[in-house]
Amino acid sequence: MCPAETQAAARHWQRIAMHIRLGLEPDEPRLLCAYHHQGERLIAAYGHPAFATHERMLRLLLDTAEDTLLPVCWRMTCLNAASRPLARLGPLLADDEQAERLHTLSARLAQFTLRPVDRAEP
């Protein structure tokens, strides 16, 4: 693949990430599928490192889920989507450093709570 094509694909992935992180389309859960698909495409077609790509996806989804300024429904959608990159990371572990980073991310996911002040009033 040519460098321009690779850069265009990476920019597209980053634009999707920005929309997710900022909650620009909270009623569009397909955005998360597009983000995951584009990340997989970067790995398969353009040679992006698999562990780093899935780790970045997981971090984005966790950061978004923890952001109390975003709508609760979007945060929960992102939290649910975090299982995809998390599942991909385990088989990709290559060293103790990656294992520690995965452990830290897994702990963030396991300790996530929707605090009472975050919940919408009935």
Q: For 32-64, what is each residue's pLDDT tens digit?
A: 999 999 999 999 999 999 999 999 999 999 999
**Interatomic CA distance for residues 36 and 6, integer angstroms:** 17
pTM of the predicted protein model: 0.90
Residue 32 CB partners (closer than 8 Å, separation 6+): 20, 61, 77, 78, 81
Going by pLDDT thresholds of 50, 70 and 90, the confidence category of residue 116 is low
**Smallest Cα–Cα separation from 39: which of 92, 77, 76?**
92
